Amino acid sequence: MKSSLFRKSLALASALLLFFLASITLAADVASDVEKILIDIRQDQPVPKLDYLKKAAPINADSAYYQGNYKGIEIAVEAHPNSNKVASILLKITGADQTRAILPAVSRAIGKPHHSSPKNSQYSWTWKKYRTGSLHYDAGERLTIVSLFYQ
């Protein structure tokens, strides 16, 4: 009886450990994917030709718009008016809050946040010439969002 209980406990502990390790691996993969996207697609640089990014119907008549998906991360990119240079980048990651897991990767790509509220899963950046950035979690939509845009 004790041996059976021990085996069941060991099996449960092993399953929990595998789940925990898989979650860590998944978070690390998402972080490296976000970093890759933010390095590939840079504000004020020409919109790059990437397999995962396709031209879409424009939101604004004078601005090109692109959408894509890279390993489950939704991507939206809008160019400056009458230009091929990136104005805004929006990344959406569906599921649980990934802000803390991807913050180091976002920071490597765009710099450390200028304002943060870890308790609220909110980080933000403000640069000269009206450029801003945000990393936050929308609990209602279950989305971790990275956005770079002009105010």
Domain boundaries, the chain: 2-150
Predicted TM-score (pTM) of the model is: 0.80
Q: How far apart are CA 110 and CA 42, in angstroms?
A: 9
- Tens of pLDDT, residues 74-127: 999 999 999 999 999 999 999 999 999 999 999 999 999 999 999 999 999 999
b/e per residue 71-82 (b: at least 16 CB within 10 A) = eebebbbbbbee
Q: How far apart are CA 97 and CA 120, in angstroms?
A: 10
